Amino acid sequence: MTVAGKHALVTGGGTGIGLAIAEALAAAGAQVTITGRRQEVLDAVAGVNMTGLAMDVRDEDDVVTKIAAATEARGPVQICVANAGIAEGRALQKTSLEMWRNIMATNLDGAFLTIRECLPGMVASGWGRVITIASIAGLHGLKGAAGYSASKHGLIGLTRSLSEDFMGSALTFNAICPGYVDTPIVTRNTETIAQRTGLSAEQARAMMVEENRHKRLIEPEEVAAAAMWLVGPGSQSINGQCIEIAGGQI
Ligand code: NDP
């Protein structure tokens, strides 16, 4: 099986990890729909084999309508990358219910809705690949980010359970669990950490680099390489797994 000609949907595909995955899929000949809340961001990166469609993953009607429109335009989604997410690290005592719900709505409800709407097309076409972009914070507790960590634990549970539901079919469900990747989320986080701790943004970034035992941030393209392997012909028996790309960070 090759991805050429297949319809792939990448949520949060206009920036960072999602964009790197979308570009790799498009380069391999997939017809890629990238989504995010800001149409102008999507338009700026869309191009050959890549179309932008504004969609808020927290909004059920929006997800239902937009995935139906994308399916109408490019056929059933056979590769679904549930990547959209926010990282709001703060102590639980300083987390309001509104903040907690926004993290869950984006990172967990968003993946649930996106995958649910893509599944019928995969089942009907008899082949599908679902990749969720979780985090090592979904495998271990992350100090100072209980809400984010809880959402990513939930995302891994969702991924693993779906792999059981469809075991034996040509649909697979896997999570990728990165450590710190050099994307806009990390830039925003360094600013937040700097404000909270009084460190400079450079010092906050250096703290993240230090967590990786190779002493560097991971590149989005390294995550994309794993995603491409998961949609490629050699990985049909990889199902319900969490692939850590973390440079030894725990
Ligand atoms: P980015 O901030 O670049 O990507 C997040 C993407 O999600 C953006 O494109 C954003 O687009 C989209 N998004 C956010 N909220 C919504 C929403 N409500 N509806 C639709 N789209 C939304 O950072 P990354 O590329 O790093 O993050 C991608 C994923 O990787 C996230 O799930 C993150 O948790 C995960 N991750 C990142 C790590 C890192 O160190 N960078 C480490 C581990 C996991 P827009 O704002 O236009 O809506």
- ipTM confidence score: 0.99
Q: Could you tell me the pLDDT band of residue 197, with boundaries at 50, 70 and 90?
A: confident
The best mutation among 142, 183, 244 to test binding of ligand 1, ranked by most ligand atoms within 8 Å of the C-beta, falls on 183
Pocket test for ligand 1, best of 86, 104, 188 (most atoms within 8 A of CB): 86
Expressed in angstroms and rounded, the spacing between residue 140 Cα and the centre of ligand 1 is: 20
| 60 plus 147 within the same structural domain | yes
Q: Between 73 and 203, whose confidence is greater?
A: 73
Q: Is residue 175 a contact partner of residue 167, using CB atoms and an 8 Å limit?
A: no
pLDDT tens profile 218-232 = 999 999 999 999 999
Q: Write out the two tokens for 86.
A: 């926010």
Q: What is the pLDDT of residue 132?
A: 99
Residue 127 resides in a domain: yes
Q: How confident is the model at residue 194 (pLDDT cuts 50, 70, 90)?
A: confident
- Ligand 1 atom closest to the Cα of residue 37 is 48
Of 54, 22, 56, 55, nearest to 39 by C-alpha is 54
Q: Note whether 117 and 190 are same-domain residues.
A: no
pLDDT of residue 196: 74
Distance 113 CA to ligand 1 centre (A): 16
Say if residue 113 is in the same domain as residue 13.
Answer: yes
Residues 17, 66: one domain?
Answer: yes
Q: What is the pLDDT of residues 105-156, one digit of tens each?
A: 999 999 999 999 999 999 999 999 999 999 999 999 988 889 999 999 999 9
Q: Which residues contact 67 (CB under 8 A, 6 or more apart)?
A: 9, 55, 77, 114, 117, 118
Residue 57's pLDDT is what?
Answer: 98
Please check whether residues 89 and 169 belong to one and the same domain.
yes
Q: Residues 232, 208: one domain?
A: no
To 10 degrees, what angle do helices 220-231 and 16-27 make? 50
The CATH number of residue 115's host domain is: 3.40.50.720
Instruction: Indicate the range of 17-26, 82-91, 172-181, 195-204 predicted with least confidence.
Output: 195-204
Please state the atom number of ligand 1 nearest to the C-alpha of residue 16. 25
Residues 138 and 25 in one domain: yes
Q: Give the closest residue to 105 by CA, choosing from 140, 41, 59, 61.
A: 59
* Rounded distance between C-alpha atoms, residue 148 and residue 60, angstroms: 21
pLDDT at 42: 98
Burial class (CB in 10 A: 0-12, 13-18, 19+), 64: middle
Residue nearest (by alpha carbon) to ligand 1 atom 15: 85
Q: How many domains does the chain have?
A: 2
As annotated, the active-site residues are 148
Atom 40, ligand 1: residue with shortest CA distance: 180
Q: Does a structural domain hold residue 65? A: yes
Q: Are residues 123 and 171 in the same domain?
A: yes
137 CB burial (10 A radius; 0-12, 13-18, 19+): buried
Residues 165 and 202 placed together within one structural domain of the fold:
no
* Residues 199 and 146 occupy one common structural domain: no
Residue whose Cα lies nearest atom 41 of ligand 1: it is 181
The CA 168 to ligand 1 mean position distance, Å, reads: 31
Please give the residue range of the domain that contains residue 213.
182-217
List the residue whose alpha carbon is closest to atom 36 of ligand 1: 135
Closest CA to 17 of 195, 157, 160, 225: 225
Cα-to-centroid distance, 238 and ligand 1 (Å)? 25
Distance CA 165, CA 33 (A): 26
Give the phi and the psi of residue 109 in degrees, each rounded to 5. Answer: -60, -40
Q: Is residue 247 part of a domain?
A: no
- Residue 76 included in any domain: yes
d(CA 158, CA 134): 11
CB 226 within 8 A of CB 187: no
Residues 226 and 191 reside in one and the same domain = no
- Which residues are near ligand 1 (CB < 6 Å)? 11-12, 14-18, 36-38, 41, 56-58, 83-87, 106, 133, 135, 178, 180-181, 183-186
Ligand 1 center–CA 73 separation, angstroms = 25
Q: For residue 90, what pLDDT is reported?
A: 80
Verify that 189 and 135 share a domain, yes or no.
Answer: no
**What is residue 201's predicted lDDT score, i.e. its pLDDT?**
85
Statement: the pTM of the whole predicted model exceeds 0.90? yes
